[in-house]
Structure 1
Amino acid sequence: MAKRIAILIFDGFSLVEVSSIAEVFRLANEMEIERASDAEPYALVVFSSAGGSVGSSCSMRVWSENLDAPLLTGFDALFIAGGPGAQQAKDDEHLVRRLRAMLQKTRVVKAIGEGAAILAAANLAPERSALDFPSGAAFAARDAHAPPHPLAPIEQPAALDDPLGPIAAALSVIKRDYGSTAAREISERSMPGAWRRLGAVLGDLDEGGAREKINAAARWIRENYGRPISVAEAAQVAAMSERSFLRRFKSQIGLTPSEYLLRARLDASCLLLVATDLPVDKIARRCGVGSGDGLAKIFRKRLSISPTEYRIAGRRRSDES
């Protein structure tokens, strides 16, 4: 049986990103054929809210399956495309509701660039490039008095605006299924000379334990997001100079330490808003933001919604699940 890979697109999606992802899996199938391997091939399906022809951000159109089609019940990996149209797609209630149901049977989800906004609309916490995203119902089911859920370890292949990001995201699936050697070979076929960078962000060029040091600093940030944290402190945890730490952290994690800390605080705030009745101001202080007004600014900038509106929407979604 084929390993099923899905890509969610919408009006205004990035054709370059989608093409890059599809090319990686095409090359993987080609490589396995050359090896006369008995491995299951990858089967790609592109889908959208209504199905049919969907226009990309460069005006070229792609045919897609309707996300209500019977075959769209679950996948080995689901990629959510980036592109300027994501901001409008996140308001498509039918898409978000159906996507949430699909995720219950999907092994791993990867949002590319602006596609993270669709995950946020579905009440999902952003993950690594190979992240499992818990639904709003799962958040609400947690013990209301439990400590905030820590941010899952991020293995995001590249910064969201990096052209190598989609390729690295797809290669992380290849690495999971076939190993680093196969991922490297496909990388060289797709973009000769890029493995030096892709291998580093996929964890295959560990130089002197630097990767583990960055992972340790990332864990420390997740464990201490509720208090003021400086780059200097995080660099000390990694036993690196600030300059080296900033460069390596961004390369390996895909975010700056400050962005990573903000994400941890945002994730914890989302959890507490849905799972508890704590006042917004208290949640803000508990998550290291400082005040309810400060948290509101973060929510409006990142999610285009207020904390109170997020709480109402999250509980409504939990009731519907």
Structure 2
Amino acid sequence: MTLVPHRIGVLALDGVVGLDLGTPAQVFGAACTADRQPLYTVDTCTPGGHPVRSSSGFRVLPDHGLDLLTTVATVVVPGLHGGPPMTDGTVDPAVTEALRQAHDRGARIMSICTGAFALAAAGLLDGHRATTHWAHVEPFRRLYPQVDLDPDVLFIDSGQLLTSAGVAAGIDLCLHVIRSDHGSEVANRAARRCVVPPWRDGGQAQYIERPVPRSPASGTAATREWARQQLHEPVTLRELAAHARMSVRTFTRHFRSETGLSPAQWLLQQRTDHARLLLETTDLTVDQVARRAGFGTTAALRQHLHTRIGVSPSTYRRTFRRPPPSVDHAVVGSATTA
């Protein structure tokens, strides 16, 4: 039986960010079955099918006009560098109509980085939680106060509408969609082909600009790497500071400056991520996963996993160990940020 790939349409507007424009084709193009059948096709369109300027000094000559969006199952709007959606809160009426019609017929709508400005200008994000690049939070909130903006995450999946933060977070979102559509094995294989990490949680904080320590020797990187090897053991703040050869107060200050988290928050994040990896890739019991990740008990693992991504360990394993049943991908979408 011949597989019918899921069709994706990328909408490039004037000022499109070059990396964001290429991300969907690269990442979705890497998703295939075990026997190398492509699971997605990606085409690009512009208003009127006319060339548009990128933010990187080249023009984009598309193969399609906005009529492409009447047939695809997923629409992706890459980031923008300037233009009406970012300056005065408007977008070409033809673009608004095309996006709204795609949304109304059930297509999945995604944005990368400042592409969220275009979705907001079209009115699609009104009353919805969304994200965008952290550096553009204030103008976004000023132009689109009706959107529930969360700038502290990598991406948000609210079902039919998905938004991501800046630059590389678009890769994370595309991999998340592949994982939701076809399971972890396909998503991990696509990530390997793209030579990128297979998973960064959507709820992970954006890498907001912070001062870089003057000397790597005075940092906490070595201690963090050591701590990752000790996740199965209880590790105290005093032990972390001693490994770094710092006082507890100095260590805590350096650690927060470098990671944006307290040592306790960071350890919990590492334990949760390790537990998720074990649930995805091993047949260990949930109790064994809890012990190896340093939670000690199944109840503790269940509590922290539910707090972080809203599901139990067994539900997480069922979701990400095998592909979901075949569905109409024009309306697929997880309601959980995962």
Shift of the 22–113 alpha-carbon distance from structure 1 to 2, 3 Å rule, reads same
Q: Structure 2 CA distance, aligned partners of 1:150 and 1:78?
A: 21
Shift of the 199–117 alpha-carbon distance from structure 1 to 2, 3 Å rule, reads closer
CA shift at 1:128, angstroms? 6.1
Question: Is there any run of 5+ residues in structure 1 with no aligned partner, and where?
Answer: 130-147, 217-251, 255-321
Q: 2:13 aligns with which of 10, 14, 18?
A: 10
* Deviations 1:27-83 (CA, angstroms, capped at 9, x unpaired): 114xx3xx326x6631211111121322210022222244443x4313222111112
Identity rate of aligned residues, in percent? 23
Q: Does 1:60 align with 2:58?
A: yes
Question: Is there any run of 5+ residues in structure 2 with no aligned partner, and where?
Answer: 132-145, 150-154, 205-271, 277-292, 294-300, 311-335
Residue pair 1:14, 1:56 contacting (<8 A) in 2 also: yes
Shift of the 27–165 alpha-carbon distance from structure 1 to 2, 3 Å rule, reads same
Q: 1:213 aligns with which of 268, 290, 307?
A: 307
Q: 1:160 aligns with which of 134, 140, 165?
A: 165
What is aligned with 2:72? 75
Q: Does 1:44 align with 2:42?
A: yes
* Deviations 1:13-40 (CA, angstroms, capped at 9, x unpaired): 11101212210122114xx3xx326x66
How many residues end up aligned between the 2 structures?
Answer: 191
Q: 1:21 aligns with which of 19, 24, 32?
A: 24
Residue pair 2:72, 2:107 contacting (<8 A) in 1 also: yes
Residue pair 2:27, 2:175 contacting (<8 A) in 1 also: yes
Shift of the 117–105 alpha-carbon distance from structure 1 to 2, 3 Å rule, reads same
CA shift at 1:10, angstroms? 0.8
Shift of the 201–98 alpha-carbon distance from structure 1 to 2, 3 Å rule, reads closer
What is aligned with 2:181? 177
TM-score by length of 2: 0.48
Q: Structure 2 CA distance, aligned partners of 1:149 and 1:84?
A: 20
The structure having more radius of gyration, on CA atoms, is 2
Shift of the 211–117 alpha-carbon distance from structure 1 to 2, 3 Å rule, reads farther
CA shift at 1:201, angstroms? 3.5
Q: Structure 2 CA distance, aligned partners of 1:149 and 1:111?
A: 14
Residue pair 2:6, 2:40 contacting (<8 A) in 1 also: yes
TM-score by length of 1: 0.50
What is aligned with 2:316? none
CA shift at 1:92, angstroms? 1.2
Q: Structure 2 CA distance, aligned partners of 1:66 and 1:158?
A: 23
Residue pair 1:86, 1:117 contacting (<8 A) in 2 also: no
Residue pair 2:129, 2:148 contacting (<8 A) in 1 also: no
